[in-house]
Structure 1
Amino acid sequence: MLEIAIRHNFPGFALDAQFSAPPGVTVLFGRSGSGKTTIVNAVAGLLMPDEGRIASDGWVLLDTAAGLRLRPHRRRLGYIFQEGRLFPHLTVRQNLNYGGWFAPKDAPRGEFGRIVELLGIGPLLERRPGALSGGEKQRVAIGRALLSAPRLILADEPLAALDEARKAEILPYFERLRDEVNIPILFVSHSASEVARLATTVVALDAGRVVAQGPAAEVLGDPAVLPTGAREAGAVISAVIARHHEDGLTEIDASGLPLFLPRVGQAPGSRLRIRIAAHDVILSRARPEGLSALNILPGTVRELRPGDGPGTIVALETRAGRLLARITRRSAAALELAPGTEVHAILKTVSVAPSDIGGGGPQG
């Protein structure tokens, strides 16, 4: 368990954040300027906060009250930046070996081959960074960080500089890190899709304060917690692939409820994490008929959260899990919605983007 408590004042901005990061991927989530990178830099030792304590299982990186501050090179951290920051004059193999030079003498040996296989970079070993795509560079950067035998990995928006195709290429590798590498990962993001796919734990930040912390399904499904605004609202459900159909659809089992998605490239039995955007959910009091939409989920209204404008966020409990719907206040009034109201949530199959479908990992 990584324990972080930091206070720091900048001109016009004050950071006061305290949270715990359990094993897995802890995502710091919020708008630009909310304090995410400041926290990561304090953990890395690149920023000395006014007050703070950072520790993990008796391993203390910082304790200002005790006058303790480990220098950055003694913190045993792997840092993955937005850009790969590889040495252009070295081959991929040499860049990876550079990470190994920082591993302690008692670090496990034989990790090179396992990490190369994990990240699928074997064919790249003799190339130089100039011959790599953005996604390939990031995979090599991840490998270099892992080969330093870190006790913690920091990833500061590592996908922000990539286009959608490269993000789709590299996200599964971060999922594998979450599921197969026993190293805590502190991951910075302002993308709800990344959070939904990767997070074991979400720490939502707003204006330098922690506004929520917990599993992804819990935090993203709370209409009171919208750190990047109502337009990005969406909930996360867990499901298992039931079967693939010849017409290009994949049928999933969401806690006994069959739903359909555009074909997913994983085998039946595979577990998925799926983000459903609130603006893609339509509500009906009666079960609709004669619609093209294939996914209709019975549910009960749990909470309504009006916004500053004409919209409101409706939180629903369904058999598949918590859903959010973003509708107008006028529609909510016309449907006479209130906590306890039974409704049907309607979701078009094609509205679920591939970037919102992730594989593996713990539920939540």
Structure 2
Amino acid sequence: MILDVDLHHRQGSFTLEARFQSDGRLTALFGPSGSGKTTLVNIIGGLVRPDAGRISVKERILIDTAQNIFVPRHRRRIGYVFQEARLFPHLNVRQNLLFGRFFTPRRERVSSFDAIVEMLGIAHLLNRWPTTLSGGERQRVAIGRALLTDPQLLLMDEPLASLDEDRKTEIYPYIERLRDEAGVPMVLVSHSVAEVARLATSVVVLNDGRVTASGPASEILRHTRFFQHMGPAEAGALIETRVLRHDDAYGLTVLQAAAGALTVSRVDLPLGAPVRVRLRARDIMLSLAPPDGMSALNVLPGTITAIEPVDASSMDVTLDCGGDGIVASVTRKSVERLGLKVGLPVHAIIKSVAFDREALGSPRMGNM
């Protein structure tokens, strides 16, 4: 088990009660502002001492109040990337990166400077000063500095929150590559469903200081009830696909999923490249028969496996489409009118608006 958390902490009028386990390569702590996400990562990182509880990382106990164990933060082997890069302005990029080495004994230094620089695409920045870097470049350098401490866990507290959409799009692929290739598990704090859907392999949902759900990202993100504070359009299924072909005449790309083929706006990826797609529940309609005379390019046959109430007017209908789980948010009236029930074959009609640039990522989903 990578991360095992069971703790209680009171801070002023706020109480955090968190209990979960995660074996994911990137665990996202998701929830609204004030839900306890930053307090939790600060406890994991050793910046806050909890009132009671136990935390272990890769079976190494960091906190166990019952046994009076509290490993100080400088001995935890945990890297931390904050919302702001916090680079030293009097050091250039190379010097900022090497600063991370000072906190790791020589005999324990295993990470390769050159490999980390290449992975993060910052070789051309090594002689630059922090003030000359874009927001996305600064965060990549901050991540590199944290990795050069040879951490057993990397904490990232909303590292993209201060970036505009273009800079976020720039840095997403580097975090994806870090997740898939670096071998260092990560905990990412986020309040963006799109960000979590693109990057996370596991999700822990926090609300008012309590863990309301935890598990694989593909399972948690399909349940509308976990994201009601974000609006019903945010929840949906994660689908693993590969680039099947490009239709240059129409500026389209065809992705192959277990559920079938999905046509999206042209993506600049080679044939066979893995792509994660988020199918939002609100962007899926259901039909009892194959639709005819519609503009929608994406229609997937499936079988209803579950119908769950969300609120007084809507329900989540989960489908098995060739092994891929897809969820559609429909009204109770539609469920009754169509006679929807478990085991019934239907067709999922996916609106083109489901495939925006935040819905598409380039990772393999791997260990979910």
TM-score normalised by the shorter chain: which range applies?
over 0.9
Residue pairs, 1:152-231, within 5 angstroms: 152-226=153-227, 228-229=229-230, 230-231=232-233
1:138 is paired with a residue whose SS is helix
1:297 aligned to 2:295?
A: no
Post-superposition Cα deviations, 1:223-247, rounded to whole Å, max 9, x if no partner, equal: 4533654231111111111111112
Q: Distance in 2 between matches of 1:177 and 1:298?
A: 35
Match of residue 28 from structure 1: 29
Greater Cα offset, 135-144 or 70-79: 70-79
1:170 is paired with a residue whose SS is helix
1:307 aligned to 2:314?
A: no
Match among 266, 270, 274 for residue 273 of structure 2: 270
> Residue 213 of structure 1 contacts residue 219 of structure 1 at CA under 8 Å; is this kept in 2?
yes
> Residue 92 of structure 2 contacts residue 127 of structure 2 at CA under 8 Å; is this kept in 1?
yes
Give the unaligned 5+ runs of structure 1: none
Q: Distance in 1 between matches of 2:299 and 2:128?
A: 50
Q: Distance in 2 between matches of 1:65 and 1:335?
A: 56
Match of residue 99 from structure 1: 100
> Residue 189 of structure 1 contacts residue 195 of structure 1 at CA under 8 Å; is this kept in 2?
yes
Match of residue 242 from structure 1: 244
Match of residue 137 from structure 1: 138
> Residue 30 of structure 1 contacts residue 227 of structure 1 at CA under 8 Å; is this kept in 2?
no
Match of residue 235 from structure 2: 233
> Residue 233 of structure 2 contacts residue 283 of structure 2 at CA under 8 Å; is this kept in 1?
no
TM-score by length of 1: 0.94
Say what the alpha-carbon RMSD is for the aligned residues: 1.9
Match among 272, 285, 299 for residue 288 of structure 2: 285
Equivalent residue letter for 2:29: L
Match of residue 56 from structure 1: 57
Post-superposition Cα deviations, 1:202-261, rounded to whole Å, max 9, x if no partner, equal: 122222222222221111123453365423111111111111111211111111611111
> Residue 29 of structure 1 contacts residue 204 of structure 1 at CA under 8 Å; is this kept in 2?
yes
Match among 309, 320, 344 for residue 317 of structure 1: 320
The Cα of 1:350 is off from its aligned counterpart by 4.5
The Cα of 1:320 is off from its aligned counterpart by 5.6
> Residue 235 of structure 1 contacts residue 322 of structure 1 at CA under 8 Å; is this kept in 2?
yes
Equivalent residue letter for 1:307: V
> Residue 18 of structure 2 contacts residue 211 of structure 2 at CA under 8 Å; is this kept in 1?
yes
Q: Distance in 2 between matches of 1:217 and 1:256?
A: 15
The Cα of 1:198 is off from its aligned counterpart by 1.5
Q: Distance in 1 between matches of 2:37 and 2:28?
A: 9
> Residue 240 of structure 2 contacts residue 365 of structure 2 at CA under 8 Å; is this kept in 1?
no
1:114 aligned to 2:115?
A: yes
1:159 is paired with a residue whose SS is coil
Q: Distance in 1 between matches of 2:204 and 2:228?
A: 10
The Cα of 1:84 is off from its aligned counterpart by 0.8
Match of residue 335 from structure 1: 338
TM-score by length of 2: 0.93
The Cα of 1:199 is off from its aligned counterpart by 1.4
2:211 is paired with a residue whose SS is strand
Match of residue 46 from structure 1: 47
Match of residue 129 from structure 2: 128
Match of residue 260 from structure 2: 257
Q: Distance in 2 between matches of 1:110 and 1:216?
A: 28
Residue pairs, 1:349-364, within 5 angstroms: 349-363=352-366, 364=368
The verdict on how the C-alpha distance between 1:57 and 1:347 changes in structure 2, with shifts beyond 3 A counting, is: closer
Post-superposition Cα deviations, 1:5-56, rounded to whole Å, max 9, x if no partner, equal: 1111234432211122225111112222222111101011111111111112
2:291 is paired with a residue whose SS is coil
Equivalent residue letter for 2:245: R
Q: Distance in 2 between matches of 1:343 and 1:163?
A: 40
Greater Cα offset, 282-291 or 329-338: 329-338
Q: Distance in 2 between matches of 1:99 and 1:216?
A: 31
Post-superposition Cα deviations, 1:30-86, rounded to whole Å, max 9, x if no partner, equal: 222222111101011111111111112442211111111122112111101111111
The Cα of 1:347 is off from its aligned counterpart by 1.1
Match of residue 348 from structure 1: 351
Greater Cα offset, 349-358 or 239-248: 349-358
Number of residue equivalences: 364
The Cα of 1:309 is off from its aligned counterpart by 5.1
Equivalent residue letter for 2:125: L
Q: Distance in 1 between matches of 2:164 and 2:109?
A: 35
